[in-house]
C-alpha cells in the first residue's frame, strides 16, 4: 500500500542525481558507460525519463521510459511510450509501489495512446518476467523464442512485446524482430544486453 511516506522524483530533471541515470540497484559500480551515455544523450532531449521511488528515507524503486522512437528497444507505435525498465526492491514488493510507478508514468504521459514493454519467460535470471509485467497491466502482442549465442546456449526463452492501451482506439505497438536479436545497448545489466565489442546478433531465433 502506497502512503505519504512515498515520493517519486525524476532524475533527468535534477543534475545532482546524475549518477542514477547510469546505475540502478544492480550491484555495479558507477561508471559513465559509453553505450549508456550515448543512449542518454539521444533520448533525454526527446522525452526519456528515469524516476526514483523513495519510501521513507530509502530509494526502493525506479522506472525508466521514453517515446518509442528513443526507447531502449526496437519498438514502434503511434504515441507509444515504452517502459525500458521497472524495478522495486524485493523487500518492499507487494505494497503497491510498482503499480504506483506505472500510474505515475501514465499520468505524466498525457498524450500517450498506450504503453509498451518487453518481457521474458523461461530466462535463467529472475529479471523482466512476463508474469510481473502482466500483474502491472501489460498484455502480450507478439512473442519470439530465442537462445543466447554465448550464455546458457541450450536454454530457449521467450521474449514478449507487451502493451497497455490508454486510449480507446490505440493501435498495438510493433517491433523489429531482427533488431531485437542484436540485443539492446541502453543498460548493461539487462538480460538482452549487447556487449560493446560484440558485432551482429546476440540471440538466435528458435
Ligand atoms: C514487477 C514489480 C515492479 C512489481 O512491484 P510491486 O511493488 O511488488 O508491485 P505492486 O505491489 O504494485 O503489485 C502490482 C500488482 O500485482 C499484484 N501482485 C503483486 N504480487 C502478486 C503476486 N505474488 N501474485 C499475484 N498478484 C500479485 C498486485 O495485487 C497488484 O495488482 P493490483 O494493483 O490490481 O492489486 C517488482 O516485482 C519488480 O521490480 N520485479 C523485478 C522487475 C525486473 O526484473 N526489473 C529489471 C531489473 S534488471
- 98, 125, 127: which to mutate for ligand 1, most atoms within 8 A of CB? 98
Q: How confident is the model at residue 26 (pLDDT cuts 50, 70, 90)?
A: confident
Residue 5's pLDDT is: 85
Q: Give pLDDT, residue 186.
A: 94
pLDDT, tens digit (0-9, with 9 covering 90-100), for 32-47:
788 999 999 999 999 9
Q: Where are the beta strands (DSSP E) in 30-182?
A: 49-55, 58-67, 75-76, 80-88, 114-121, 139-148, 157-165, 174-175
Is the C-beta atom of 28 inside 6 A of ligand 1? no
- Identify the pLDDT of residue 117: 98
Distance 126 CA to ligand 1 centre (A): 13
Residue 101 CB neighbour total at 10 angstroms:
26
Question: 93 in ligand 1 pocket by Cβ < 6 Å?
Answer: yes
Q: Name the pLDDT band for 31 (thresholds 50, 70, 90).
A: confident
Would the CB of 90 count as within 6 Å of ligand 1?
no
Per the model's pLDDT, the better-predicted residue between 56 and 117 turns out to be 117
Closest CA to 45 of 14, 78, 67, 17: 67
**CA gap 109, 9 in Å, rounded:** 15
CATH code of domain 6-205? 3.40.630.30
Instruction: Give Cα 37 distance to the centre of its chain.
Output: 16
pLDDT digits (tens, 9 = 90+) for 132-141: 999 999 999 9
Q: Which of 26, 99, 101, 137 best tests ligand 1's pocket when mutated (most atoms within 8 Å of CB)?
A: 99
State in Å: Cα 90 to ligand 1 middle. Answer: 9
Ligand 1 site, residue 19, Cβ cutoff 6 A: no
Amino acid at each position: 500500500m502506497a502512503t505519504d511516506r512515498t515520493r517519486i522524483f525524476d532524475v533527468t530533471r535534477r543534475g545532482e542525481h546524475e549518477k542514477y541515470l547510469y546505475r540502478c540497484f544492480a550491484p555495479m559500480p558507477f561508471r559513465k558507460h559509453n553505450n549508456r551515455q550515448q543512449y542518454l544523450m539521444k533520448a533525454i532531449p526527446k522525452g526519456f525519463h528515469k524516476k526514483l521511488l523513495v519510501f521513507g528515507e530509502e530509494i526502493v524503486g525506479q522506472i525508466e521510459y521514453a517515446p518509442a522512437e528513443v526507447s531502449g528497444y526496437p519498438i514502434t507505435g503511434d504515441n507509444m511510450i515504452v517502459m525500458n525498465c521497472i524495478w522495486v526492491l524485493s523487500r518492499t514488493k507487494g505494497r503497491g509501489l510498482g503499480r504506483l510507478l506505472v500510474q505515475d508514468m501514465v499520468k505524466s504521459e498525457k498524450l500517450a495512446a498506450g504503453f509498451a514493454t518487453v518481457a521474458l519467460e523461461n530466462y535463467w535470471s529472475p529479471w523482466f518476467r512476463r508474469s510481473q509485467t502482466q500483474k502491472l497491466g501489460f498484455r502480450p502482442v507478439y512473442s519470439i523464442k530465442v537462445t543466447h549465442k554465448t550464455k546458457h546456449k541450450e536454454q530457449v526463452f521467450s521474449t514478449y512485446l507487451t502493451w497497455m492501451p490508454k486510449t480507446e482506439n490505440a493501435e498495438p505497438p510493433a517491433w523489429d524482430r531482427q533488431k531485437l536479436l542484436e540485443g539492446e545497448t541502453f543498460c548493461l545489466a539487462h538480460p538482452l544486453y549487447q556487449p560493446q565489442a560484440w558485432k551482429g546478433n546476440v540471440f538466435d531465433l528458435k
